[in-house]
Amino acid sequence: MGLEVVRAIIEVEGYDLAAAIDHHCVGKDAGELAGCPIIGIPIQTDLKAALEISRSQVLVDFTLPDSVFSNILTCIELGVHVVVGTTGLGKEAVKELNEKSLTKGTGVFIAPNFAIGAVLMMQFAAQAAKYMPDVQIIELHHEKKIDSPSGTALLTAQKIAAARIEASVSPIELPKNLVEKSPGALGARDTGTGDVPIHSVRLPGFVAHQEVIFGGVGQSLTIRHDSLDRRSFMPGVILAVCKVQSLRGVVVGLEKLL
């Protein structure tokens, strides 16, 4: 994702890549690594130093759950706006970041998914849940994705739960053992998911995919989104980079910018 962001920033008019941070390929040119001409921006490891020297206005973070929080805090401290594609931040962490970013007057934008189609999928699912409240989610990602369920699946489940409350509809009571319970199995169903069962698949060959399956008497409805290439996320990332400087505090969800 980092290389895709580098390529997207280089190609879009009106923006310049100011710095590139990673713990791999240190010293190599970011543009060349992304398959673009050499741009004179070497990969660095010290985030704070890179931001101070480059005087960057916006940071795009696609890292890991155990580092994204400190990365955002560093940006807020330096007055740098942040676009976050890393999932796994908890509610308390988001609350703390919101308070700090409001104090500093910086914008922090977080999106579980930057694909426009995924945003539409979530909106369609919330609409369908008002009429077909019985639903489960299957999300499928590449084998290197660490968090489970995905941020997209969690947000979809929360939107479905809110839509069912708004429409005063309830799903049928399901047996408690339907969600994966074996040690090491991937799956979730609790208050954080709006009690919508989520099943996670991690396999080579996938990028990012999600099915929302509704069941009714004598019928079923499946809403599915597939990101077949990481380029599908870049229009959303560029949109967020463009708009985050006008935000204050933490804003979650690409639909807030559309």
pLDDT tens, position by position, 62-114: 998 889 999 999 999 999 999 999 987 888 999 999 999 999 999 999 998 99
Burial, 18: exposed, middle or buried (Cβ in 10 Å; 0-12, 13-18, 19+)? Answer: middle
The yes-or-no answer on residue 209 being catalytic is no
Catalytic member of 141, 159, 199, 225: 141
**Cβ proximity of 239 and 247 under 8 Å:** no
Domain that holds residue 36: 2-110+231-256
pTM of the model: 0.79
pLDDT of residue 233: 92
Burial 21-32 (b: 16+ CB within 10 A, else e): beeeeeeebbbe
Catalytic member of 28, 100, 130, 145: 145
pLDDT of residue 72: 97
pLDDT tens digits, one per residue of 183-234: 555 665 555 677 888 888 999 999 999 999 999 999 999 999 999 998 899 9
Is 173 found in the same domain as 88? no
Three-state DSSP state, 4? helix
pLDDT of residue 149: 85
The yes-or-no answer on residue 142 being catalytic is no
Is 127 found in the same domain as 75? no
Is 194 found in the same domain as 105? no
Q: Which of 1, 4, 147, 184 minimizes the C-alpha distance to 66?
A: 147
The amino acid at 169? V
pLDDT tens digits, one per residue of 234-257: 999 999 999 999 999 999 999 999
Would the CA dihedral through 23, 24, 27, 31 be positive or negative?
A: negative
Number of domain units in the chain: 2
pLDDT of residue 188: 57
Place of tokens 């047996």: 175
Is 49 found in the same domain as 20? yes
DSSP 226: E
pLDDT of residue 193: 72
Supply the Cα-derived Rg of the chain in whole angstroms: 19
Three-state DSSP state, 42? strand
pLDDT of residue 192: 63
Is 7 found in the same domain as 102? yes
Q: How confident is the model at residue 136 (pLDDT cuts 50, 70, 90)?
A: very high
pLDDT tens digits, one per residue of 146-194: 778 888 998 899 999 999 999 999 998 877 766 665 555 566 555 567 7
pLDDT of residue 76: 96
pLDDT of residue 120: 95
Is 97 found in the same domain as 12? yes
Is 237 found in the same domain as 212? no
Instruction: State the pairing for strand pair 107-110/249-252.
Output: parallel
In CATH, what number is assigned to the domain containing residue 222? 3.30.360.10
Is 164 found in the same domain as 222? yes
pLDDT of residue 114: 93
Three-state DSSP state, 250? strand
**Cβ proximity of 120 and 180 under 8 Å:** no
pLDDT of residue 65: 84
Q: Which of 194, 53, 32, 73 minimizes the C-alpha distance to 125?
A: 194
